[in-house]
Amino acid sequence: MESFLLHLKNLSTHINYTLFGVSIYRVILASFVMFLFLFLRKIFLLVIIKLIEKFTKKTKTQIDDRLVKCASKPFSLLIILIGLFLGTLILGIPHKYVGKLLRTFLIVILSWLSYNLIVEFEDVFYKFSKKFGKEVAREIGSFLVKVSKIFAIGLGILAILQEWGINVSAVMASLGLGGLAFALAAKDTVANLFGGLTVLIDKSMRVGDWIKIGNVEGIVEDIGLRTTKIRSFEKSLIVIPNQVLANQSLENFSRRNVRRIKMLIGLTYDTPREKMVKILNEIREMLRNHPGIAKNQLLMVYFTEFADSSLNIFIYCFTNTAVWSEYLAIREDVNLKIMEIVERNGASFAFPSTSIYVEKLPNFSVEENK
């Protein structure tokens, strides 16, 4: 009995020891509470959330399922926050520091939850953007999602700064020349932002379009807040600031529904007039009846000039598609049919040549040669 009392006395002596001014038993108790809430967080994620998900799956709407998905991880962090709060109270840390720290974590949780809601309900932004037109709904929706994400994060940062006694508006006002310098530095960013808005509102292009801006030609991959990404036909990625897009002429090949065929073919000078007229008429008839040639577009086939080594025929028409591969197939078929018409009429294609005519050869006698 005496030994047991002695052990208790020794134990109480050790418990009363301090670590950085805090009793050992308080440290042990605070650690136990924090580990307990870590365990409760696991229980929350593995048990409670699963039960809630089973319940929400039975409802007719999908909104509650998506809300649970958004809130599960932020609320699991909230459990840790409660454990941290109780642990700091046990340790006897002054309440004013604990309160600031906890409110900071709470702001982080709310910002995280807002960000998750934006990500999960992106389809709402895209549905809203269809009011601006189906052609640019994807680009405007993506723009709204990015702006909302930046707003959620930025608002959280400002709230945290305000919580720690930093007057954001006063700081911005007190920057003076520094604020002016910042505004000048951000000038290009703002210009790019409004340039992107101008492109989207004008509906001049959308993701997937084949465009040409200056010397840049390729497929639009993304229209962002600051830049637009274009994939060239050599598969390199070209990034163009949006203010450049807004201030330069843009050629959008994807917006055309036809594609031009323009060629000049030459026949040899020994082609008789009758054959030339027949060839011209047959080419016109072939193009009018060709299934790949647009019937409502301009069509011209004319004998235009006597060139140096050929009789030239000018051919001008449009295919009924703008798709590159289909256009090439139609143009190939047209070329082969023109060759068939020329060959069938006994004519030949000319090639660059030069003829030399000698009027009179000098008469050299045998005696002069001697």
Backbone angles phi, psi at 264, to 5 degrees: -130, 115
| CB-CB neighbours of 259 under 10 Å | 19
Q: Give the lowest-confidence range in 86-95, 231-240, 257-266.
A: 86-95
More confident residue, 172 or 311: 311
Rounded CA separation 107/209 (Å): 42
Rounded CA separation 205/228 (Å): 11
Rounded CA separation 62/147 (Å): 25
- Do residues 313 and 305 lie in contact, with contact meaning Cβ atoms separated by under 8 Å? no
> Does the pLDDT value for residue 181 go beyond 60?
no
More confident residue, 334 or 156: 334
Rounded CA separation 84/227 (Å): 43
| CB-CB neighbours of 94 under 10 Å | 8
Q: Which one of 2.30.30.60, 2.60.130.10, 3.40.50.2300, 2.60.120.260 gives the CATH number of domain 177-252?
A: 2.30.30.60
Residue % of the chain over a pLDDT of 90: 20
> Does the pLDDT value for residue 368 go beyond 60?
no
Angstrom distances, CA of residue 248 to CA of 19, 140, 143, 195: 69, 21, 21, 11
- For CATH 3.30.70.100, the residue range(s) in the chain are 259-344
The 3-state DSSP composition of the chain as helix, strand, coil percent (nearest 5) reads 60, 15, 25
First-to-final CA distance of the chain: 156
β partners of residue 259: 319
Split at pLDDT 50, 70, 90, the class of 177 is: very low
- Do residues 278 and 345 lie in contact, with contact meaning Cβ atoms separated by under 8 Å? yes
- Do residues 113 and 70 lie in contact, with contact meaning Cβ atoms separated by under 8 Å? yes
Helix axes of 95-120 and 63-91: crossing angle, nearest 10 degrees: 170
Task: Give residue 204's pLDDT.
Answer: 75
Split at pLDDT 50, 70, 90, the class of 182 is: very low
Q: Which amino acid is at 320?
A: N
Rounded CA separation 259/322 (Å): 5
Q: Which one of 3.90.1640.10, 3.30.70.600, 3.30.70.100, 3.30.565.10 gives the CATH number of domain 259-344?
A: 3.30.70.100
Residue 358: strand, helix, or coil: coil
Task: Give residue 110's pLDDT.
Answer: 83
Residue % of the chain over a pLDDT of 70: 69
- For CATH 2.30.30.60, the residue range(s) in the chain are 177-252
Angstrom distances, CA of residue 71 to CA of 114, 150, 285: 9, 19, 70
Instruction: Quote the pTM value.
Output: 0.45
Angstrom distances, CA of residue 7 to CA of 12, 19, 243, 269, 349: 9, 22, 80, 125, 117
Task: Give residue 214's pLDDT.
Answer: 83
> Does the pLDDT value for residue 12 go beyond 50?
no
Q: What is the secondary structure of 91-148 as a DSSP string?
A: HT--HHHHHHHHHHHHHHHHHHHHHHHHHHTHHHHHHHHGGG-GGGHHHHHHHHHHHH
Residue 16: strand, helix, or coil: coil
